[in-house]
Amino acid sequence: MAKKILLCELNVSEGRDEAKIKRITEALTSTPSITIMDVDSDADHNRSVYTWIGEPEDVLAGAVNITRRAVEEIDMTQHHGSHPRQGAVDVVPFVPVRNVEKDEALEISRRYGKFLGGLGVPVYYYEEAATKPSRQNLVDIRKGQYEALAEKMRDEEWRPDEGPFAFVPKSGATVTGVRFPLVAYNVNLRTDDIGVAKEIAKRMRFSSGGLRYCRAIGLALEERKMVQVSMNLTNFEKTPIPVVYDLVKTLADSYGVGIADAELVGPLPLAALEEVVRHSLRVRGFNMSQIIETQLLD
Amino acid sequence: MAKKILLCELNVSEGRDEAKIKRITEALTSTPSITIMDVDSDADHNRSVYTWIGEPEDVLAGAVNITRRAVEEIDMTQHHGSHPRQGAVDVVPFVPVRNVEKDEALEISRRYGKFLGGLGVPVYYYEEAATKPSRQNLVDIRKGQYEALAEKMRDEEWRPDEGPFAFVPKSGATVTGVRFPLVAYNVNLRTDDIGVAKEIAKRMRFSSGGLRYCRAIGLALEERKMVQVSMNLTNFEKTPIPVVYDLVKTLADSYGVGIADAELVGPLPLAALEEVVRHSLRVRGFNMSQIIETQLLD
């Protein structure tokens, strides 16, 4: 039986009170059969981000445990911080990593949403779990932040997907759903001409005619006296990393600019490398099950 | 604590008698905490090849268990088969896959050799475990096969590294040691000119001036009306797959020939892909610990 891996990245609006953070964290660490990848508390943001993986049911249990504690501990009427936020438990994406179909992740996310609704917290589903197009993007749902919630809760447009259709001052509202693993891929160019990076980013990104699952911006790297095409790939199966590299290279060539190097930022599923081998080494039929270590994941 | 993975590929000289094979196999499958990757019995070769992985101590326990049974069951005075062989337990390489240093693998291989010597079987160490240059290659040690052993055992040159310096008719002799994971990489060219494949293979392989850890031959793929540069990379850290690909491509270009596709044959350690990402996507600092699944291997 192939091992399933679901990832949860849970954002809570507390990054300063160490005693509270400790109690919230313990609710997660005491959950059996999950692997915690990262706990990142930021006092300036006044926010903590928890990332863990495991079998879907175990990952859901972790989310339920930490959420119950965070909803008790955190009072949004007292919250200030530099990061946009709307709820005590702010955003909870579930990300299928390995052998988890979208539908299974959606079911987990809905069960989590119903649990949270049952605690009396308004819940919005986003990304793959969105119930209407205006709720696909987190930025749209969180517009106006916590401070706008009292007003929005009087508007039928903002009726929650789960929980009370009412402003809940202590907890605010939570956004949860399913998104695909994001690949953050940055390519650094041997020029300090920011115009070149911006032009290439424009050609790369979906919104201005580029690749379907590519977001891109051009940035200056002041210290290195270079520029960067900074990209997020939202579906690495349909817009593979090596194809993105080749297109950036072709566009850079057309400006007479070379590629210095590149970065892959943050965690990646193993599957994101499958197309790298297929494309770059021309091994069309390559399958990750050839990798010895995957035997220990099955 | 990072999980260690050692691989053992054990070759026994029995591929026909199903009852014997079953009893030998059971000695391996009853070993706890190992993952058996492959069992391949070939009646024509009259040989069975067992491949398993696990923590070094567990892998050694598996080798000891299956060897004790195979030495009991197999009588080399009765053995005939098309594959070169010298012993009931013929060849036993230990291969470091993950977080295992060469020295640790060498120690396992020597403990295995001493165990087998203690059973009264002459043992030769080969590859990284070889005690002199003439014993590095299996082909050199196995020259003349089982039938030559009685004669060789009178020659000081063939004094075994472990076990009796005597011809043991029932068991023959065993070769064991440590080798690095082998990458079998074949590149198919869009031509039926076998001369091109042979010329490229000559430029690629170490023995005629090519890359240090590359063996290569040119082959015809009759059905596809193509030719193939068929390569074994014996150290993928020092002679990485993407560098090999690029050099084959450059050489093929010089003959006006394109690359159709390529193959990676058999199991590969995850580490073999690290340099693919670094080189092909220009992510110089890429490290496999960024891959989410590796969290479950630590």
Phi-psi category of residue B207: left, alpha or beta, with phi > 0 → left and psi -120 to 50 → alpha = alpha
With beta carbons under 8 A apart, name residues in chain A contacting B263: 283, 285
Question: Is residue A298 predicted with pLDDT exceeding 80?
Answer: no
Q: Do A35 and B282 touch (CB under 8 A)?
A: no
Environment class of residue B156 by beta-carbon count within 10 Å: exposed (0-12), middle (13-18) or buried (19+)?
Answer: exposed
User: Dihedrals φ, ψ of B66, to 5°?
Assistant: -70, -35
Q: Does B1 touch chain A (CB under 8 A)?
A: no
Report pLDDT for B1: 54
Q: What is the ipTM of this complex?
A: 0.88
Q: Do A292 and B267 touch (CB under 8 A)?
A: yes
Q: Does A270 touch chain B (CB under 8 A)?
A: yes
Q: Do A295 and B264 touch (CB under 8 A)?
A: no
Name the superfamily (CATH) of residues B183-297: Formiminotransferase, C-terminal subdomain (3.30.70.670)
Question: For testing the chain A interface, which of B230, B243, B283 should be mutated: the one with the most A CBs within 10 Å?
Answer: B283
With beta carbons under 8 A apart, name residues in chain B contacting A286: 264
Tell me how crowded residue A272 is: count the other CB atoms within 10 A of its CB.
Answer: 23
> For A74-117, what is each residue's pLDDT tens digit?
999 999 999 999 999 999 999 999 999 999 999 999 999 999 99
Which of A86, A79, A2 has the alpha carbon at shortest distance from A43?
Answer: A79
Which of B219, B212, B249 has the alpha carbon at shortest distance from B234?
Answer: B212
% residues pLDDT > 70 (chain A): 100
User: Roughly how many angstroms between the first and final C-alpha of chain B, as a whole number?
Assistant: 6
Q: Does A149 touch chain B (CB under 8 A)?
A: no
Q: What is the mean pLDDT of residues A114-136?
A: 97
Contact assessment for residue B264 and residue A286, using Cβ atoms and an 8 Å cutoff: yes
Report pLDDT for A3: 87
User: How far is Cα A4 from Cα A297, in angstroms, rounded to an integer?
Assistant: 8
In what side-by-side order are the strands of the sheet with B226-233? B214-221, B226-233, B183-189, B259-265
Query: Of chain A residues 11-30, which have a CB less than 8 A from chain B?
Result: none
> Secondary structure of A259-295 in the HEC alphabet?
EEEEEEECCECHHHHHHHHHHHCCCCCCCHHHEHHHH
Confidence of residue A1 (pLDDT cuts 50, 70, 90): low
Q: Do A281 and B53 touch (CB under 8 A)?
A: no
Q: Does A263 touch chain B (CB under 8 A)?
A: yes
> For A252-294, what is each residue's pLDDT tens digit?
999 999 999 999 999 999 999 999 999 999 999 999 999 999 9
Low-confidence ranges of chain B (pLDDT < 50): none
Nearest to A292 among B7, B282, B291 (CB): B7
Question: Is residue A185 predicted with pLDDT exceeding 60?
Answer: yes
Q: Does A262 touch chain B (CB under 8 A)?
A: yes
To the query of whether residue B80 is one of the catalytic residues in this protein, the response is: no
Q: Does A294 touch chain B (CB under 8 A)?
A: yes
Which of A107, A76, A85 has the alpha carbon at shortest distance from A10?
Answer: A85
Q: Do B273 and A269 touch (CB under 8 A)?
A: no
Stronger pLDDT, A107 or A295, i.e. the higher one? A107
Q: Does A185 touch chain B (CB under 8 A)?
A: yes
User: How far is Cα A150 from Cα A164, in angstroms, rounded to an integer?
Assistant: 13
Q: Which amino acid is at A158?
A: W
**HSE-CB of A87 using CA atoms within 13 angstroms:** 28
> Which residues in chain A belong to E strands, given as ranges?
5-12, 34-42, 47-54, 89-98, 123-127, 174-178, 183-189, 214-221, 226-233, 259-265
Which helix (DSSP H) or strand (DSSP E) does residue B138 occupy? helix B138-141
Report pLDDT for A206: 97
Sort strands B5-12 and B89-98 into parallel, antiparallel or unpaired: antiparallel
Domain boundaries, given as residue ranges, for chain B: 5-178, 183-297
Helix, strand, coil abundance in chain A, percent, nearest 5: 40, 25, 35
**Topology, domain B5-178:** Formiminotransferase-cyclodeaminase; Chain B, domain 1 (3.30.990)
Whole-number average pLDDT of chain A: 96
> For A33-81, what is each residue's pLDDT tens digit?
999 999 999 999 999 999 999 999 999 999 999 999 999 999 999 999 9
User: How far is Cα B76 from Cα B263, in angstroms, rounded to an integer?
Assistant: 37
